[in-house]
């Protein structure tokens, strides 16, 4: 299969989410992006934020066939989402590639639904820490950017799937800021696929979640916002607080903050956090939670 042929197996994913869903205030109630058919029975791989808490999902092929679908799973760790088509898509499945073999400068195709494709190159493979308590040890970054990146397929030169589009970012360049895409590497899928299909999530104790939106700022981890419904808000964390220590261990950047929180134990554990507010130190004890417990569960259509 060539990259062009593989692009025809990318479908449009449209979902609707109840207004009272936990993610509705941030992600909206009407979401649209792409997904890639990875199995002949109509299993579609997408990015999880498109289908989280969705109560209605529709898929549209490059041939304009519209098929209802069921959201099967959303993995908080990788960010992948799985959708099962409830009718014939009449498109071939794309084979999974090896994202570990992708090299800087490799030509790739970023393929979205309805034939929207961008010829790009791999410009970086490196750690990525997202402000929403999300971390990838090695994400794939490509340029130029795809305008509709969410759930788009990152296709290698051999026509295999090597990643799923997650974000559009800006990178500093000689000529000014450059728009780029970040993709979740496909090698993260096989170790969790069976669990996602059987249980709708990874079959292990969930990570502790705080409900913090944070960023690196001059070497410090600064709280940008706090979800008012989450554990950190209950503990008194505020926007503008600098997170300095977790369990008496100094925090050295956003990724390090996440790793220290997750290493503390399973969701539900109390996590002591030292913060700096108005140049004063104080300790907060945050009773962590399972993020999935706040989300509406998929209902079979």
pLDDT at 5: 83
pLDDT greater than 80 at residue 193: yes
Greatest mean pLDDT among 97-106, 113-122, 191-200 lies in 97-106
pLDDT greater than 90 at residue 171: no
User: pLDDT > 90: what percent of the chain?
Assistant: 87
> Rounded to an integer, what distance in angstroms lies between the CA atom of residue 52 and that of residue 48?
6
More confident residue, 148 or 261: 261
Confidence of residue 114 (pLDDT cuts 50, 70, 90): confident
Cβ proximity of 185 and 99 under 8 Å: yes
pLDDT greater than 70 at residue 301: no
More confident residue, 170 or 246: 246
Domain boundaries, the chain: 3-93+195-199, 99-189, 212-294
Confidence of residue 237 (pLDDT cuts 50, 70, 90): very high
Of the candidate ranges 209-218, 224-233, 238-247, 290-299, the one whose mean pLDDT is the lowest: 290-299
pLDDT at 177: 85
Please state the rounded mean pLDDT for residues 40-69.
96
C-alpha pair distances (Å), 80 with each of 86, 140, 145, 199, 248: 20, 14, 20, 14, 33
Confidence of residue 102 (pLDDT cuts 50, 70, 90): very high
Of the candidate ranges 21-30, 125-134, 167-176, 228-237, the one whose mean pLDDT is the lowest: 167-176
> Rounded to an integer, what distance in angstroms lies between the CA atom of residue 212 and that of residue 133?
7
Burial of 26 (0-12, 13-18, 19+ CB in 10 A): exposed
pLDDT greater than 70 at residue 127: yes
pLDDT greater than 80 at residue 13: yes
pLDDT at 299: 66
Q: Do domains 3-93+195-199 and 212-294 have the same CATH topology?
A: no
pLDDT greater than 80 at residue 298: no
Q: Does domain 99-189 have CATH number 2.40.10.10?
A: yes
- The predicted model scores a pTM of 0.95
- 236 three-class SS: coil
pLDDT at 174: 75
Cβ proximity of 150 and 165 under 8 Å: yes
By DSSP bridging, strand 220-226 and strand 242-246 are antiparallel
Confidence of residue 3 (pLDDT cuts 50, 70, 90): confident
Right CATH for 3-93+195-199 from 2.40.10.10, 3.40.50.720, 3.30.160.100, 2.60.40.60:
2.40.10.10
Please state the rounded mean pLDDT for residues 95-101.
97
C-alpha pair distances (Å), 98 with each of 1, 190, 194, 232, 294: 15, 11, 18, 38, 34
Q: What CATH number belongs to 212-294?
A: 2.30.42.10
């Amino acid at each position: 299969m060539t990259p062009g042929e593989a692009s025809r197996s990318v479908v449009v994913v449209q979902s609707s989410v109840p207004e009272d869903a936990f993610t509705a205030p941030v992600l909206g109630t009407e979401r649209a992006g792409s997904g890639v058919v990875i199995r002949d029975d109509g299993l579609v791989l997408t990015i999880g934020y498109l289908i989280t808490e969705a109560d209605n999902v529709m898929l549209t092929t490059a041939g304009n066939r519209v098929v209802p679908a069921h959201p099967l799973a959303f993995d908080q760790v990788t960010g992948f989402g799985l959708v099962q088509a409830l009718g014939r898509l009449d498109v071939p499945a794309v084979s999974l590639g090896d994202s570990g073999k992708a090299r800087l400068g490799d030509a790739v195709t970023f393929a979205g639904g309805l034939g929207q494709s961008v010829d790009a190159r791999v410009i970086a493979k490196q750690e990525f820490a997202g402000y929403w308590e999300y971390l990838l040890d090695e994400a794939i970054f490509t340029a130029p950017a795809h305008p509709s990146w969410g759930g788009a397929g990152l296709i290698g030169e051999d026509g295999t799937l090597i990643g799923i589009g997650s974000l559009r970012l800006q990178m500093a360049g000689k000529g000014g800021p450059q728009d780029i895409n970040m993709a979740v590497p496909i090698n993260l899928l096989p170790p969790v696929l069976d669990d996602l299909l059987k249980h709708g999530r990874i079959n292990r104790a969930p990570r502790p979640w705080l409900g913090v939106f944070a960023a690196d700022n001059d070497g410090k981890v600064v709280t940008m916002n706090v979800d008012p419904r989450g554990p950190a808000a209950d503990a008194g964390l505020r926007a503008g607080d600098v997170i300095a220590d977790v369990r008496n261990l100094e925090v050295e950047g956003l990724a390090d903050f996440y790793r220290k929180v997750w290493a503390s134990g399973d969701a539900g554990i109390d996590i002591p956090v030292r913060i700096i507010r108005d140049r004063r130190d104080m300790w907060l004890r945050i009773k962590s939670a399972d993020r999935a417990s706040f989300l509406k569960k998929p209902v079979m259509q």
